[in-house]
Amino acid sequence: MTTVLQGTAIVASVLITLLVIQLIRKRRLREEYSILWFVTSLLLLLLAVDRHSIDRLATLVGIAYPPSLLLLGSIFAGFVLSMHFSIALSKLSEQNKRLAQEVGLLRLELEHGSLRKRENESGEAIAT
């Protein structure tokens, strides 16, 4: 890895970290997702600072071609992230359905209460 590429990778990982901090401060990124992005930026920083860390890690895992470890890690991270978002989406969908049902029931109660009130008012108006 050339020095220019290494410097670019270090700057990119620091910028990702600063972006995550800024998004948290503006409340546009929840804390649970910020941890993921902090870990990602720290991992990128580690790989950028220590040029041979990917080689040692690939040897430790038993992978002959070190860049394929990055691809494998990216695919695994994408799978885990996709599963997490699918679970969150399912929960939100169920909550949305439940809230829509509650709003419908409340609206029905309100309409029936209004009808009863009108019937009572018209009945009293006729009786007097």
Confidence check: pLDDT of 87 > 80: yes
Confidence check: pLDDT of 124 > 70: no
Residue-level pLDDT at 128 = 46
Q: Which two tokens stand for residue 55?
A: 């080689």
Q: Which two tokens stand for residue 63?
A: 């992978």
What type of residue sits at position 53?
A: S
Q: Are residues 73 and 27 in the same domain?
A: no
- SS3 category, 51: coil
CA 1 – CA 80 distance, rounded (Å): 29
Greater pLDDT, 118 or 3: 3
Q: Please write the tens of the pLDDT for every residue from 93-114.
A: 999 999 999 999 999 988 888 7
Residue-level pLDDT at 96 = 98
In a domain, 61, yes or no: no
Please calculate the CA angle 63-65-68 and round it to the nearest 5 degrees.
85
Q: Are residues 46 and 75 in the same domain?
A: no
| Positive or negative: CA dihedral 96, 102, 107, 110 | negative
Q: How far is CA 10 from CA 40, 64, 106, in A?
A: 13, 26, 56
Q: Could you tell me which of 117, 1, 118 has the C-alpha nearest to residue 54?
A: 1
Mean local confidence (pLDDT), 63-88: 92
In a domain, 56, yes or no: no
The total of structural domains in the chain comes to: 2
| Positive or negative: CA dihedral 80, 57, 70, 7 | positive
Give the predicted TM-score (pTM) of the model. Answer: 0.68
Q: Are residues 72 and 28 in the same domain?
A: no
> Which stretch of 11-25, 27-41, 93-107, 112-126 has the lowest confidence by average pLDDT?
112-126
Q: Are residues 34 and 75 in the same domain?
A: no
**Residue 103: domain span:** 67-128
In a domain, 108, yes or no: yes
